A and B are shown apart, each in its own frame.
Chain A
Amino acid sequence: MTQLHITTRINGDTVEFLCEAEETLLDVLRDRLGLTGAKEGCGTGDCGACTVTVDGRIACSCLMLGAEAEGREIGTIEGMATTEALHPLQQKFLEHAALQCGICTPGFLVAAKALLETNPEPTEREVRYWLAGNLCRCTGYDKIVRAVMAAADDMRRV
């Protein structure tokens, strides 16, 4: 089987990879590019642990073929912190203990960042609906919602 040669941008860098037609973007990120931040939870688009951005919008990378990334702008959790500092959302997740096992955390952070970029002052209800596609079996969600609200508050002050 001839592999497909794909050129895309991931976290601002041009990236080329070879993949099989049936490989998902999640498989490519984790197994070919070593970007293991996105997690496979359900593999059916229900849990959001594999959330990435595609041209600025969040998507489940398990529900997208690697080949579909051609020419797109992909964002993953690996692009969130700088070498100097955590993103305010990451900092607030730590301060609010908004994680336990951590499997869901990259997906929540990528999704929450996209929310605050489109809506810098969300209500709690808007946060809960936006994050309805991210499942967490540890925290009960309250700490996550509070961390996102606190990060939004911080980011508006800057």
Chain B
Amino acid sequence: MRYEAPRRTEDAVALLAGEAGKAQVLAGGTDLLVRLRTGFIEPDLIVDLKRIPAMKAIAAEDGGWRIGAAVSGIELGEHDGVRRDWPGVVEALELIGSTQIQSRATLAGNLCNASPAADSVPAMYAAGATVRIVGPSGSRDLPVEEVPTGPGKTALARDEVVESIFLPARSGRSADAYLRFIPRTEMDIAVVGAGVSLALDGSGTCTAARVALGAVAPTVILVPEAAELLVGSRVDDATLADLAAACSAAARPIDDKRGTTAYRTRVAGVLARRAAAIARDRALEKA
């Protein structure tokens, strides 16, 4: 196995494109190193992204935030601007693992690991994030929900890397929230996760919303029918009850050691309702 730590994204792409054997991209490594050590993968080349300055940067762009693929959970959490505009994305990434893991784990790695239970991914779906992917012929931007294609599978070609994730500009009264259910308070994998982002007008009526669920389908899923219920409402209790029903109806979970199909289906609605209420209250505070 070879280890390379290029200084530019195009050099990382060239390394991936030029590798005849198996290549793996290393961001935080909190999933990759486990798979490497257990022999689950045996790459010929590892390309470490952490020496590429653009991948370690958080930059303001068009009123939103461009977050480099190698920015860690701690670095994102220390950024006041991202925390103010996208508290749900920040809290979702910060839920992953221990303090030790937080110094390494990244949004892009969580996305590309493509677990249906990834905590930051429903929050990014709800946020309407865009993923910048760089390959040999240049870069392309994909909506985040088009990146995971199945458990452990993404839309990236073998010679492509995620360079950054873009969180769009926020209007005045808008906010997001992410909740996950686990049987304890820390250090576990989501039984269900729910992310909600919404915008309110001056009267408190919802003008835009996105709702996403984790761990209830082969990939994280958007629930547009739940978001449509929020738009035009004042996010009151009756609307939230309908939203919970829509989310439970959209859930297609499996039975496994973390939860049964029936349990996950019910909890998906409960969590989405609670996350929507938190997002609403955060948006109202910004008035």
Contacts and interface: CB of A to CB of B under 8 A. Distances in A.
A4 B48 CA distance: 14
Interface residues of B, number: 25
A4 B1 CA distance: 11
A129 B99 CA distance: 8
B100 A111 contact: yes
B34 interface: yes
26 contacts: A21-B3, A21-B46, A44-B34, A44-B38, A45-B34, A45-B97, A45-B101, A48-B100, A58-B100, A59-B100, A60-B104, A63-B33, A63-B34, A63-B104, A64-B104, A65-B29, A65-B33, A65-B46, A65-B48, A68-B5, A70-B5, A111-B99, A111-B100, A114-B99, A133-B97, A133-B100
Contact of B99 (A43, A58, A63): A58
Contacts of A43: 37
Interface string A19-51: 011101000000000000000000111101001
B186 interface: yes
A151 to B, nearest CB: 17
Contacts of B38: 44
B103 interface: yes
Contacts, number: 82
A57 B28 CA distance: 13
Nearest to B35: A44
B257 interface: no
A62 interface: yes
A24 B5 contact: no
Interface of A: 4, 20-22, 24, 43-46, 48, 51, 54, 57-60, 62-65, 67-68, 70, 111, 114-115, 129-134
B2 A21 contact: yes
Contact of A24 (B30, B33, B50, B100): B33
A45 B33 contact: yes
B98 A63 contact: no
A133 B35 CA distance: 19
B36 interface: yes
B79 to A, nearest CB: 15
A82 B74 CA distance: 30
Contact of A54 (B1, B30, B103, B187): B103
Contact of B37 (A20, A24, A54, A134): A24
With most chain A CB atoms within 10 A of its CB, the pick from B34, B36, B50, B74 is B34
A3 B46 CA distance: 15
With most chain B CB atoms within 10 A of its CB, the pick from A20, A54, A60, A131 is A60
Interface in B30-45: 30, 33-34, 36-38
